Amino acid sequence: MSSALAGLVILVIGDSQMMNMLNNLHSQLQDNGATVYSYAMCGSTPADWITPSVASCGTGERQDKSPAVFDLKSHPGWSINDLIARHHPQLIVVELGDTMAGYGAQLELSWIHQQVSGLTGRIAADKIPCVWVGPTWGQDEPPYRKSVASVQAISQLLSASVAPCNYVDSTGFSRPGEWPTRDGGHLQPDGYRKWGKAIADAIVRLKGQGALGAR
């Protein structure tokens, strides 16, 4: 247990990758002293967190020390404004990128920028520090076709687009292919454990560097 994030209330949002990390990243942040509220919408893009859409492949959430709860039916998700009003976070962690990347297709640069700036603008309006976590490596196989080049492309685009959020480049946590996937895009359990710890460690470093200043 560490006190590096003691007293910090953290709101975490993400897509299906975060659904797989509700028992990893959430706990890692707690182990560093934070109070954590995590939400995941399968297949979501930033716009889905501004105007909630129907999460066709389900949602997951974890409230502080309660266990994770999953609902795999189609139903509306959450809005960032409502979550901010509910939890009054001092840090927001965003894990979104894979759905926007549309692996196997050309990146829609203006659309992605619009998506990202819409969400970062909502967060910045409340003057809440934020961290945006980029995608990790996958495999270039069906159905996701997550090639090395495509992951590099979306990561570079996000790193240049997510300000004022701090960008966490997940491609630096492992070598391509080091963390096996079950379908080309989603990691095996050990990979999610390692990814969650790497993200939490990166947040602790940013806090130590003063990059996550007081609200």
Residue carrying structure tokens 């480049």: 169
Alpha-carbon span 63 to 48, nearest angstrom: 20
Is 70 in a helix, a strand, or coil? strand
Q: Where are the domains of the chain?
A: 9-208
pLDDT score of 142: 81
Q: Which fold has domain 9-208?
A: Rossmann fold (3.40.50)
Q: How many residues appear in the chain?
A: 215
pLDDT score of 105: 79
pLDDT score of 215: 39
pLDDT score of 73: 85
Distances (CA, A) of 123 to 92, 118, 127, 157, 210: 8, 9, 7, 19, 19
Nearest to 204 by CA among 162, 168, 151, 161: 168
pLDDT score of 33: 96
Q: Please, is 118 exposed, middle or buried when counting C-beta atoms within 10 Å of its C-beta (0-12, 13-18, 19+)?
A: middle
pLDDT in tens, the chain (215 residues): 789 999 999 999 999 999 999 999 999 999 999 999 999 999 999 999 999 888 778 999 999 999 999 998 888 899 999 999 999 999 999 999 999 998 877 889 999 999 999 999 999 999 999 999 999 999 988 888 899 999 999 999 999 999 999 999 999 999 999 999 999 999 999 999 999 999 999 999 999 999 887 53
pLDDT score of 53: 83
